[in-house]
A and B are shown apart, each in its own frame.
Chain A
Amino acid sequence: MIIEVWATTDVGKQRSINEDCYYVDSDHELILILDGMGGHQAGEVASRLAMDTISSFYKEHCGGSADSSDIFDSYDQRFTYHTNLLRQATFIANRVILEKSLENQELIGMGSTLAGMAIHDFTVSLINVGDSRMYLIRNGLMEQVSKDHTLAEDQVERGIMTRDEVRDSQLRHILSSVIGVDPRIRVHMDELTVFPGDMFLLCSDGLTAVMSDPEILQEVLRDKPGPRTLDRMIEEVNLRGGPDNTTLALAVFIEEPQPVKESKLQSLLAKTLAVFHGRKRNISKARLPGGYRCLNWS
């Protein structure tokens, strides 16, 4: 199986600064979307700091295993090493941003959301904090695989609101967990096996504030998935006023037409493609069912 990944970010129509950012790393098979918040330029500082901290911690340790590591504050046995690694990276980012914000008056209260996925061993590890979302699109259906950390969601869990009421509630804009504001942080984790045809959409709330889930699904399925899919969604968001920054990443798992063993040339090319950070469009590879390590770019 091959994974193709595209990502893009747009400032929108009403803001002058883009506080969102994204990270796509084909070598370590890691995709992150972050939405920063805070006055002045603090939101921008927070999201980039979280991105750098999480990605570098993950890269540093993703080759390790649960037994050999003393890097964890806590280890959740129900999840794989890689998912625990993403969570630990998020804990560290939380401390780093909190410390940084205490150093400088202008940065106090800054924070960032996170939606991240790492691909490894036939599966994806999913992690999220705040209201940036991840969707799995499989067999023409879309399922939200992240959990919103908003007060509206809390009220649903307490039985005070119904799920249908959330969309119209002001509480859905108030985050109950965010990286960098409180020493305690809620992190949602999940793990999924993946199959050819699966697509994952990661997005900041710039998209979900103006488009409903069925509208998003319709846009994803409109045509063959590719960079145009993301461009069309950004265009639609801006047509609807573009109130916020919007960041999108689309990962598509596809069947390799014929098994190709990785040649020396390919592995060399893979290395040269190692630096992906900040590029608009990226293609990734992974080891997945079928057992081949393949690389594809177009």
Chain B
Amino acid sequence: MFKLVLTFQDTVLEEYTFDTTPVTIGRREDNDVVVDNMAVSGHHAQIEEEETNFYVLVDLESLNGTFLNQKQVTRERIFDGDAIIIGKHSLNFVDLRPEEEQPLRAEESQGDKPAGGAFRDTVILDTQAQQALLAKQAEERGFPQDQLPEKPKKIELYGTITIISGGTPQIIDLNKRLTTLGKASDSDVKCSGLLVGKTAALINKRPNGFFLAYAEGLKKPEVNGKAVTTQVQLQDGDDITIGSTRLTFNLREEIS
């Protein structure tokens, strides 16, 4: 049981009390709440019930939209004290059920908390339904199917290591997420020298660059003559020394 108070420019025009749903709102005479104004669609919106004890405001694809507390909605739960705006008219919603039977607004969206809304549960859709939904949303945002916006540019980073001395001269592409440097026979970059660890260092490819980290061994890797104890971001042209092996790092950016 609930009450709707129809007001126009702060003047109360009418009060309606309802026991059952749906309750329809619109300009035409066959609505439960008739709002006679050209800004209001023939059948503009309705109030329904939803499990377990919620009242829900549903916009019936009206021309000028249905607003709940200043926010345009298509389907939204409503609570005691909410203001529904249709055209220039306002309908204040008063829940007449005993307080303990009224639902709590607790998890509704407010302020800086993430929005709740209609999909309270996580949903899985099959691929076709996903594509349809994505296309629909794109269209609503002014991107019809054949005029999708350009994909945001991505900067792809390409790093290489060149072995200058203390190993077989070669250029190694750093296309793995992790490249190992050390004495171990399965290292990606084999290094030699006294006290050099099996895995002396690792180069980690991250979205924002390449990072060289110390791993093990008494001899720490050096970048531009400085020993690395944790990790450093590598810059184009950096000299890397691991034991008696000298290497150069090169970085290239490509926009894709």
Which of B120, B126, B138, B177 makes the CB contact (< 8 A) with A79? B177
- The CA-CA distance from A184 to B230 in the complex, in Å, is 39
Q: Is the CB of B113 within 8 A of A159?
A: no
Q: Which of A50-58, A90-98, A166-174, A269-277 participates in binding chain B?
A: A166-174
- The CA-CA distance from A171 to B115 in the complex, in Å, is 11
- The CA-CA distance from A111 to B130 in the complex, in Å, is 16
- The CA-CA distance from A241 to B152 in the complex, in Å, is 37
Q: Is the CB of B176 within 8 A of A291?
A: no
Any chain A CB within 8 A of the CB of B14? no
- The CA-CA distance from A6 to B165 in the complex, in Å, is 46
* Given the contacts A122-B202, A192-B204, A173 and B113 also touching, CB distance less than 8 Å: no
Q: Is the CB of A154 within 8 A of B114?
A: no
Which of B122, B138, B150, B175 makes the CB contact (< 8 A) with A205? B122
Interface residues of B in 13-30 (CB under 8 A from A): none
Any chain A CB within 8 A of the CB of B159? no
Q: Is the CB of A240 within 8 A of B123?
A: no
Any chain B CB within 8 A of the CB of A222? no
- The CA-CA distance from A43 to B114 in the complex, in Å, is 24
Report the interface size class on chain B: 35 or more
What 0/1 readout, one digit per residue, does chain A (97-123) give for beta carbons within 8 Å of chain B? 000000000000101000000000111
Interface residues of B in 129-158 (CB under 8 A from A): 130, 133-134, 137-138, 141, 143, 148-152
Cβ contacts under 8 Å, A176 to chain B: 130
Any chain B CB within 8 A of the CB of A74? no
Any chain B CB within 8 A of the CB of A80? yes
Interface residues of A in 254-298 (CB under 8 A from B): 289-291
Q: Is the CB of B151 within 8 A of A157?
A: yes
**Chain A interface secondary structure, helix, strand, loop or mixed?**
loop
Q: Is the CB of A173 within 8 A of B121?
A: yes
* Given the contacts A77-B176, A243-B120, A289-B216, A123 and B151 also touching, CB distance less than 8 Å: no
- The CA-CA distance from A29 to B231 in the complex, in Å, is 23
Which of A121, A181, A191, A291 makes the CB contact (< 8 A) with B177? A191
- The CA-CA distance from A212 to B47 in the complex, in Å, is 32
Which of B150, B176, B204 makes the CB contact (< 8 A) with A78? B176
Distance to closest chain B CB from A115 (angstroms) = 14
**Chain B interface secondary structure, helix, strand, loop or mixed?**
loop
Q: Is the CB of A289 within 8 A of B130?
A: no
Q: Is the CB of B123 within 8 A of A157?
A: no
Distance to closest chain A CB from B3 (angstroms) = 27
Cβ contacts under 8 Å, A192 to chain B: 204, 206
* Given the contacts A174-B119, A243-B120, A78 and B127 also touching, CB distance less than 8 Å: no
Cβ contacts under 8 Å, A151 to chain B: 125, 130, 133-134, 137
* Given the contacts A159-B151, A291-B197, A170 and B112 also touching, CB distance less than 8 Å: no
* Smallest Cβ-Cβ distance to B198: which chain A residue: A291
- The CA-CA distance from A239 to B133 in the complex, in Å, is 34
Nearest 7 A/B pairs, CB to CB: A241-B107, A193-B213, A173-B119, A159-B149, A291-B216, A191-B177, A241-B106
Interface CB pairs A-B, < 8 A, 27: A37-B121, A77-B176, A78-B176, A80-B178, A83-B177, A111-B124, A122-B216, A159-B148, A160-B143, A160-B149, A168-B115, A170-B117, A171-B137, A173-B119, A173-B120, A174-B119, A181-B126, A182-B127, A192-B206, A193-B204, A195-B231, A209-B114, A212-B112, A212-B113, A243-B116, A243-B120, A291-B197
12 other contacts beyond A78-B175, A157-B152, A290-B216, with CB at 8 A cut-off?
Answer: A123-B178, A123-B202, A155-B134, A157-B151, A168-B115, A174-B122, A190-B177, A191-B177, A192-B206, A193-B213, A209-B114, A212-B114
By a beta-carbon cutoff of 8 Å, the part of chain B in contact with chain A is 106-107, 109, 112-127, 130, 133-134, 137-138, 141, 143, 148-152, 175-178, 197, 199, 202, 204, 206, 211, 213-217, 230-231
